[in-house]
Amino acid sequence: MFWQTTRFRIDLGRPRVMGIVNITPDSFSDGGQHASTAAALRHCERLIEEGADILDIGGESSRPGSDPVSLEDELARVLPVLRDAARLGVPLSIDTYKPGVMRAALDLGVDIVNDIAALGQPGALEVVASHPSCGVCLMHMRGEPKTMQAEEPVYGDVVAEVAAFLRERADAVRAAGVAAERITLDPGIGFGKTSAHNLALLARQRELLPLGYPLLVGWSRKRTLGEVTGRPVGDRVAASVAAALASVNHGARIVRVHDVAATADALKVWGAAGSGDAAAS
């Protein structure tokens, strides 16, 4: 199994770690820590040293209740980092739902578009389709970040509804001319879902595998882990690693994390024990 991206054909025969680089003042767990270009680049380099296979760079927080950022502000945050991070030798992902940011990032040679709106914004699908080799991650979200948790989300069967949405979006992307090997899917843990919904998606995650695309899953430091453990956001490393391992054990091929070193070490042990072969089969 491979993920075709702009500069890299990523081998998913073993689980891959996507390290999070938030260039924002208001992200839920590390807002403001890497907001300057210099700090963000140092963080990129550190994540690679810790074992990140992919860097996911974003300039707008998507935490519940977050305010949208203008196109101009988002571009000002991410483009200097993307330009310099391109020399680091690993695939770069731009975490955005704005077509203008996608276009500017892809014009710099960025490898992946990671879109919480699953290319649903007007013009987004056309931008990705016009770049013939970039990778794309399509995520499920109910509502939008500002309001998605304002009222408790309701589903009949959350796994079936997430699967149906992801299938529809993948079909639309394929119809626009994007090859299947460029596509990954993300169930959107915490995006318009209760803790019960999130845990159901983890327990039944294998039901998403018949969609036929690699799964990229992000549990890192999220509120559900705090509700399960009683830990504040800064003390959720162990819970995040456990969730990442459980997700990989249920078929995820990429995990999106803040704590790269701990996750990478855990995956090495998991793989050495033979679990990697079982999950890939």
Active-site residue 223, yes or no? Answer: no
pLDDT at 252 over 60: yes
29 has pLDDT over 60: no
Mean pLDDT of the chain: 92
Query: For residue 62, what pLDDT is reported?
Result: 76
Catalytic residue among 16, 142, 222, 236: 222
pLDDT at 66: 62
Residue 193 annotated to the active site: no
Distance CA 113, CA 249 (A): 25
- CA dist 82 and 105 (Å) reads 7
Query: When comparing pLDDT for 48 and 33, which is higher?
Result: 48
The stretch 114-138 carries a mean pLDDT of 97
- What average pLDDT does range 166-182 have in this prediction? 98
pLDDT at 127 exceeding the cut of 90: yes
**What structural domains does the chain harbor?**
2-273 (3.20.20.20)
Interval 189-220: pLDDT, tens: 999 999 999 999 999 999 999 999 999 999 99
Mean pLDDT over 143-163 rounds to: 83
